[in-house]
Structure 1
């Protein structure tokens, strides 16, 4: 290669590098514009005022410190944090366009990164009699022994219908197999209920929807699987929340469970986050939605897919992300956590500075026996065989400290209301616990919270290390050779963590 050719190659490489950097910078500045929170609030207020009369029964979206605008285009880089946690549903595909005659419409927002879609439509009818499943919403005690196959939906043809306008294709499927293969893919989900729902959807003639009730407000339809497990339920909360934002709903939507699960303690959080909650089978007859949103399965969220895929994202506050944009950092999980605690009226408390004179809370999240669902024995599997011994040792150690006041909190979450659980998480300086679903509450932890997870050899799974990473929390694991933890080793690690706080 001649000297001239080498110079040309260097110039070309520099040009391509500059072009790539400029593209990423444009994307970041577009998504994270340098506006003050006051300007964002003013814009939001103007938008809300236009819709306030239309949806008087819906709850307003709260003002969240970590909120960043949800804008559908341009598409973010496929491996970026926004693609995984925010704007990934950026490719809009119209399956059925609204005609001039006022017929219905159906479209999906597809994520190349997650390979799933948030779909929405108008003038849609749901016929509960064509959905084969148990009623749902019962108390747990009256459905003991009921099989899971009875609770998950199976759809007959026409379980969902959509006003086809003047298309003249009455009785035809709203979407064909080719559409579903591209945008509502089965992936590794064995029973993809959202796909089956859309397979059941049929076109009807204009204004031929026969409904016993019309729901005017936007409504998100959700099918839950492991509905009694906190981790899996959080993935469903997140999916429904993201779906609401991706479709730009002006208020918190109504929610309909298209499943036949009984009530659990976790339902109170669904009711707090969204405007209302109903079960599909609890409607007295066919119901029509002016605007329906179909949320992806919790299995298709980044929270779940991160267990088997490497999602390179570091949590950071929205303010810092505005000042220093980075495609490998995210504030989305913090925004979501703030949404949960705000739903329970705790956001103002979160903003209060910790009072050192009141001491530092070490929250020990316990695993307790409780009846979780109709097929559960009421006994939880032990992940830490000497949990009580470790807890007692921490209490003795904390009482002996004279440099700082350390309050050891007994996190008996299975017998606490959700608001109490969230308060305990918010007030904790350090969260300790064996691997278990209760640690999922880390999504609502305050910035600066430390995490100490005790991991038995049988449960070395990345759930809470990942949530800590995506939230920007300091994470410390203790790996056991079995299920027994030497209390002195736990206290040594805890003492080191408290030392970093100043104790």
Structure 2
């Protein structure tokens, strides 16, 4: 046999051996018992980068990978690296105080919380956690809006009975208490604060520890799963705070891929679900499960009310947006790239390009996006009429059309941002493509979290809505921001145009 044939046989033998080994791993991987012990939780002294985390145990459904984000900075923080009033403590990983409530032993469950003294909230996670939907009093959720018109909000928010969630305590008698936490723990680490109905606090307070053979499940979910309760789920600003909380929870707990999602609420379907589905790996409603469901790894996301995006409306958060590359080389407690990272995450979730740099005069002109308010049916208790923030919006828009079509400095494309009748992907794309974003104060402007660097914001603010939402978001993003404060709700078109002329000149146009 010549040397070439010997080499060929060796290659074939190697491929056969490799294939056999792969098949062995496949059968071991896919035929593991659902009751097999979970992998040990990540060590408190080692946080792995989500891009290099190991494959989750017994993965049976596909999970979306994390996209490569230009503004990404590592989320692994030591307790001393995020001072309490720092931007990282507010917008990044300030959840550094760890509390183990139940440690994994002998294949039993585990539960712990990561507390942020800055936000006064906790990200909690557990293994071998069982949900019993019949012990949660709320509507089914996920219905078509037209089918539930008039339904009360009280029917949609969850009321948890004892044992609505249970954690596997191992052998009978191994744990000497019935409930996972007491009132003292809740008051210290999941405080009610200004929130009348704090669903995550109530959920944690009702978790029972079940030992012995009492821990049985009708369905197992093997992949990491976020449990989220939404409140004002049809309002974009409040929903963005929920998106951000869910994203932060995913990063703080070092999840290997984008987690799956379970809504622990009874709200009907809404257009904003399009983004939830894009951001995460899958979506289900708690009441849509036919029996008890067990999670190999569940993460309880804090309420959107507890994020810096919401707390910044009443607290003085001294933070300014900066490029991630700058902060990588020179960390600064008063600068953050976290909102830019989050905005890139939203754009990446919809498959929009990330490596876009706006400089000089664009080839096809500058897009000026006018975010409009229009009537639409938002939720079961909504009459379909939006509150007017700019009484002569149509007049202003028509004046801008005339001005933009005859502007001599450069080509201007005025974009009619009728967001209520656009898909979420198209809304995000319009934000990304805009050099200037203009609009009356309203939830639609929250989309500026996805705006590119160097985008300019011009907000028209009526006397009844002098609120700092978008000025703060622009500052935390590092965007140039201007405001026109009205005496009432009527804007002089000439004043709006004069402001835009100055902005276009600043853009070299």
TM-score, normalised to structure 2, is: 0.88
CA deviation profile, 1:426-465 (whole Å, cap 9, x unmatched) = 0100000000000000000000000000000000001000
Aligned match of 1:469: 475
Aligned match of 1:293: 299
Once residues 44 and 243 of structure 1 are traced to their aligned partners in structure 2, the CA distance between those partners, rounded to angstroms, is 12
Q: Which of 128, 141, 150 is the aligned partner of 1:145?
A: 150
- Post-superposition shift, 1:206? 3.6
Once residues 328 and 52 of structure 2 are traced to their aligned partners in structure 1, the CA distance between those partners, rounded to angstroms, is 23
Q: Are the equivalent residues in 1 in contact too, given 2:94–2:118 (CA < 8 A)?
A: yes
Aligned match of 1:242: 248
Once residues 348 and 259 of structure 1 are traced to their aligned partners in structure 2, the CA distance between those partners, rounded to angstroms, is 33
Q: Are the equivalent residues in 1 in contact too, given 2:85–2:118 (CA < 8 A)?
A: yes
> 2:388 matched to 1:406?
no
Aligned match of 1:117: 122
Once residues 242 and 153 of structure 1 are traced to their aligned partners in structure 2, the CA distance between those partners, rounded to angstroms, is 23
Which residues of 2 match residues 472-491 of structure 1 at below 5 A? 472-491=478-497
Aligned match of 2:41: none
Which residues of 2 match residues 309-458 of structure 1 at below 5 A? 309-348=315-354, 350=356, 356-458=362-464
Aligned match of 2:3: none
- Post-superposition shift, 1:421? 0.4
Q: Which runs of 4+ in 1 moved over 4 A?
A: 43-46, 50-53, 351-355
- Post-superposition shift, 1:54? 3.8
Which residues of 2 match residues 208-287 of structure 1 at below 5 A? 208-287=214-293
Q: Which of 199, 205, 217 is the aligned partner of 2:211?
A: 205
Q: Which of 155, 163, 167 is the aligned partner of 1:158?
A: 163
Q: From the superposition, tell whether residues 209 and 470 of structure 1 become closer, same or farther in structure 2 (CA, over 3 Å).
A: same
- Post-superposition shift, 1:352? 7.7
* RMSD, matched Cα: 1.7
- Post-superposition shift, 1:103? 1.2
CA deviation profile, 1:25-83 (whole Å, cap 9, x unmatched) = xxxxxxxxxxxxxxxx9x765435x4597465100001000000011413311000000
Q: Which of 118, 132, 136 is the aligned partner of 1:131?
A: 136
Once residues 141 and 255 of structure 1 are traced to their aligned partners in structure 2, the CA distance between those partners, rounded to angstroms, is 24
> 2:191 matched to 1:185?
yes
TM-score, normalised to structure 1, is: 0.89
Q: Which of 491, 494, 501 is the aligned partner of 1:495?
A: 501
Aligned match of 2:16: none
Q: Are the equivalent residues in 2 in contact too, given 1:365–1:434 (CA < 8 A)?
A: yes
Once residues 354 and 146 of structure 1 are traced to their aligned partners in structure 2, the CA distance between those partners, rounded to angstroms, is 52
Q: How many positions carry a matched residue from both structures?
A: 460
Aligned match of 1:80: 86
Once residues 136 and 170 of structure 1 are traced to their aligned partners in structure 2, the CA distance between those partners, rounded to angstroms, is 36
CA deviation profile, 1:302-321 (whole Å, cap 9, x unmatched) = 00000010101000110121
Q: Are the equivalent residues in 2 in contact too, given 1:171–1:204 (CA < 8 A)?
A: no
Which consecutive residues of structure 1, in runs of 5 or more, have no partner in the other structure?
A: 1-40
Q: From the superposition, tell whether residues 278 and 341 of structure 1 become closer, same or farther in structure 2 (CA, over 3 Å).
A: same
SS in 1 for 2:363: helix
Once residues 156 and 259 of structure 1 are traced to their aligned partners in structure 2, the CA distance between those partners, rounded to angstroms, is 14
SS in 2 for 1:364: strand
